[in-house]
Every structure is written in structure tokens, then in C-alpha cells.
Amino acid sequence: METALLIVSVLLIAIVLLQSNKASDAGQIISGGNTELFQIQKERGSELFISRLTVLLGAIFFILSFLLYIS
């Protein structure tokens, strides 16, 4: 069980690092350099896949951590 948690942890870290950097766009609010920040943008293709995979791996991580805690 610990091995599965370790594998999910490494995959979760890797997939989060692959996501597009939306936090750097938020830093441009003060300077006014980003006009597209508050526009609704739909995720498509690989970005949508990575986003859904992140949620799935996060849920698996939570479940495995909880199971290890109660056992």
C-alpha cells in the first residue's frame, strides 16, 4: 500500500509540474499587462486531460492516505 502511495505521489508531482502556469498570469494584475486573465477560457485537448488526471490522482492520493491512516 505504501508503494502505491509513493507511485501516486510521484505521478501527482509530475503532472502538476506539467500544467500550464496560470499563477504567473495573476501576477500581472497589478501592472495591467494581462487583459485575458478574467476571460472565460475553456480547456481543450491535452490541457483538459492533464487537469482531469490531476483531479483523479489527487482523489486516489487522498483515498490511499486515508486507508493507510485507519489501518
Tens digit of pLDDT at every position of the chain (71 positions):
899 999 999 999 999 998 866 555 555 556 655 555 556 667 678 888 998 999 999 999 999 999 999 98
User: Is there a contact between 57 and 12 (Cβ–Cβ < 8 Å)?
Assistant: yes
Question: In angstroms, rounded to a whole number, what is the distance separating the alpha carbons of residues 71 and 51?
Answer: 31
Name the domain count of the chain.
1
Asked, for residue 60, whether it belongs to a domain, the answer is yes
Strand ranges, E, within 1-71: none
Please tell me the distance from the alpha carbon of residue 65 to that of residue 61, in angstroms, as a whole number. 6
> Which residues span the domain enclosing 55?
1-17+43-71
Return d(Cα 38, Cα 40) in angstroms, integer.
6
Does residue 37 belong to any structural domain of this protein?
A: no
Residue 53: partners with Cβ closer than 8 Å, 6 or more residues away: 15
